[in-house]
Structure 1
């Protein structure tokens, strides 16, 4: 097998030839056709993630065919087209992950490789309307977007939704999911091109969050919003409090801009706002997300596909956040 391996921080991944994998117990070997990048992969290369270990095969998203299996019932997966749930050992409480929770792709060897060893419990049938590249773009971002919108955000048809920082994998899938669920959606970005792309995919309006009064413009054109899906935090968080309708919900699945320097609790309690945290999601969330994707025939937006040996080029593109949708890798040897 071939694998792109991280051996030190702030250094390119190296493509290594390794021994082919062998299944054991309830685990199977998946011959990967495609993988996808997440912001997590870039953060790990920069040392901005806890518990980094070397060497590490990064990559949380993958799709392929089960090529080897040993014991029953894992053998029933032989030859089947699959995608992988990247959230392992969630625990028994659906409200939050347990202390043993792990994400595929460090410390567990991930999908930036030609094959991977996966316990059968984390396998799911690849949606038949998706090709391998589209399927690989779905797992981590789709799970995160689904939990933020539905499990935590309690989205209902006809509600007004803001998705901030449109362009990344989670945000673009949240846009697609919210539109499919019958919501009215607006987005923010600092890129006019990304805003235009979001409108093509169903957003009603888009606003440059660096604008002097984008909240006033949004309120006038669209009105106050019931649900906000945000991954930034930072200084812009105060604008979200202004745009949220009374009784509205703000769900955060990240804080790329850091903590808000000032949280106006007066607005929080006077407007009866709900501030909610969210992560990737439980096994039930993953199954429900796949059902939703199959029901609505949703296809993740793929910005670009590169060969496995160009993984460093893909990571560099993620560094500059120029993509709209997912960056994927062709893992076929």
Structure 2
């Protein structure tokens, strides 16, 4: 089978399109003919930071939608021809405060979804929501699950509250925007890009400002209940300054420096809540799919590349050109 593979060289130079073995499903496994494989910034991190040239060949990718091509003899949940979507989390079935020991994400350390076929156990697949195309479903899983847990499980966002999303444009934050508006929350976004600010307003954001301006001056009359922090050191103290006393910051990523310094006295006098979040459980994945089906939510689909355009796709997400999700058209 054709697959996008990383081997032989560090970074993006190690990427290539080549033939790989197409494994037969074991008794409890399902082999999916991949239609669309979604791309995340994690895939960039895998090939630039974690996967080294001396390691064995690796197929990256955590997201996919497709059609069941064959099933093992013990599989009861699916049959050939079913339209499915991949849950990118491995080993986290039940809701819990944190991922259990052994939790992994599809695409490292084992092969991922950037291939013509993907094989996994039946409990890591769900039926594709009927209102989504294969392209939309294929770019959904990791980002939508991350957004759902950050907003609702961890952030406990409710209708009428205000959520702020610094650095709008990523797949996760565009889902956060759509999810928050679906329940009747007020949404503030920031971006260095005026075009991304305008796109966010078109999607329903109530306020859009520059990431680089003084947030307190720009939002003098706003009360931010929940802030989703994914930038890290460059904005963390601005985030802390803008959240109302007793408000909450949920963080699950850092596109700038990981380490931040805060005034701990300001923090405890303000009674702030700082919560970490990571993707979500299989239960939350099913809850999220139910939520998007109920509200007929679709991903903000930026661009779908061919498999031959793998280099362009990785460079595109590396430069943060996307507003929303990107992916590969496999079939």
Query: Does the TM-score normalized on the shorter chain lie above 0.5?
Result: yes
Instruction: Assess if the C-alpha contact under 8 Å between 1:232 and 1:254 holds in 2.
Output: yes
Deviations for 1:161-191, whole angstroms, at most 9, x for unmatched residues? Answer: 0011100111111111111111000101111
Match of 2:200 among 176, 183, 198: 198
List runs of 5+ in structure 1 lacking aligned partners: none
Alignment match, 1:246: 245
Distance in 2, Cα, partners of 1:21 & 1:48:
25
Match of 1:115 in 2: 117
Residues 1:90 and 2:89 are matched in the alignment = no
Offset of 1:70 from its aligned partner? 1.9
Task: Classify the secondary structure of the residue corresponding to 1:19.
Answer: coil
How far apart in 2 are the matches of 1:247 and 1:58? Answer: 40
Does the aligned pair in 1 maintain the 2:94–2:283 contact within 8 Å?
A: no
Alpha-carbon offset, residue 215 of structure 1 = 2.5
Alpha-carbon distance in structure 2 between the residues aligned to 1:167 and 1:285: 23
Partner of 1:327: 326
Specify every segment of 5 or more residues in structure 2 that has no aligned partner in the other structure, as ranges.
Answer: none
- Aligned position for 2:4: 4
Partner of 1:283: 282
Supply the distance in 2 between the matched residues of 1:92 and 1:200 (Cα, whole angstroms). Answer: 36
Match of 2:139 among 137, 140, 143: 137
Question: In the comparison of the two structures, how many residue pairs are matched?
Answer: 328
**For residues 173 and 92 of structure 1, do their structure 2 counterparts lie closer, same or farther at Cα, with a shift above 3 Å needed?**
closer
For 1:297, the equivalent position in structure 2 comes to 296
Per-residue displacement from partner, 1:287-326 (whole Å, max 9, x unpaired)?
Answer: 1110101000000011101111111110010110011001
The farther-off stretch of 19-28 and 142-151 is: 19-28
Corresponding position of 1:268 = 267
1:78-123 CA distance string (max 9 Å, x none):
2100001000012666111122111001212111111110110011
Counterpart of 1:15 in 2: which secondary structure? strand
Q: 1:71 matched to which residue of 2?
A: 73
Q: Name the TM-score, length of structure 2 as normaliser.
A: 0.95
What is the CA-CA distance between 1:74 and the residue it aligns to? 4.0
TM-fit CA distance, 1:18: 2.5
CA distance in 1, matches of 2:90, 2:270: 37
Q: Offset at 1:266?
A: 2.1
CA–CA distance in structure 2, aligned partners of residues 264 and 204 of structure 1: 30
- Report if the CA contact (8 A) 1:87-1:282 is conserved: yes
How far off is 1:195 after superposition?
0.7
Q: Contact 2:166–2:190 (CA<8 Å) still a contact in 1?
A: yes
Task: Return the alpha-carbon distance in structure 1 between the equivalents of residues 187 and 55 of structure 2.
Answer: 40
Contact 1:53 1:106 in 2 (8 A): no
Contact 2:170 2:325 in 1 (8 A): yes
RMSD: 1.6
Aligned equivalents of 1:289, 1:12: Cα separation in 2: 35
Answer whether contact 1:233 1:254 (CA < 8 A) is retained.
yes
TM-score (norm. length: structure 1): 0.95
5 Å matches for 1:203-218? Answer: 203-211=205-213, 213-218=214-219
Partner SS, residue 292 of structure 1: helix
